[in-house]
C-alpha cells in the first residue's frame, strides 16, 4: 500500500478507504494485499471520467 499511495499522491488511509469502497481493486497474495499497476491505471481513468462528468 505505501507504493500505491506514493504513486497516487495519497495518504495510506485514503488508499485503504478507496479499497474499502471498492473503487481501487487489489489482489491478495497470502496475507499481503497488492495493487497491480494496471489497477492503479484503471483507478486513475475512473477519476478522470468522474472529473469530466462533474
pLDDT tens per residue across span 13-47? 999 999 999 999 999 999 999 999 999 999 999 99
Q: Note the pTM of the prediction, 2 decimals.
A: 0.86
Domain layout of the chain by residue ranges: 2-53
Nearest to 27 by CA among 47, 53, 4: 4
Helix/strand/coil (H/E/C) assignment for every residue in 27-54: EEECCEEECCHHHHHHHHHHHHHHHHHC
| Residue-level pLDDT at 1 | 79
Amino acid at each position: 500500500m505505501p507504493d500505491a499511495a506514493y504513486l497516487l499522491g495519497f495518504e495510506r488511509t485514503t488508499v485503504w478507504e478507496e479499497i474499502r469502497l471498492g473503487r481501487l481493486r487489489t489482489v491478495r497474495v497470502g496475507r499481503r494485499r497488492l495493487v497491480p499497476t494496471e489497477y492503479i491505471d484503471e483507478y486513475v481513468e475512473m477519476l478522470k471520467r468522474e472529473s469530466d462528468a462533474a
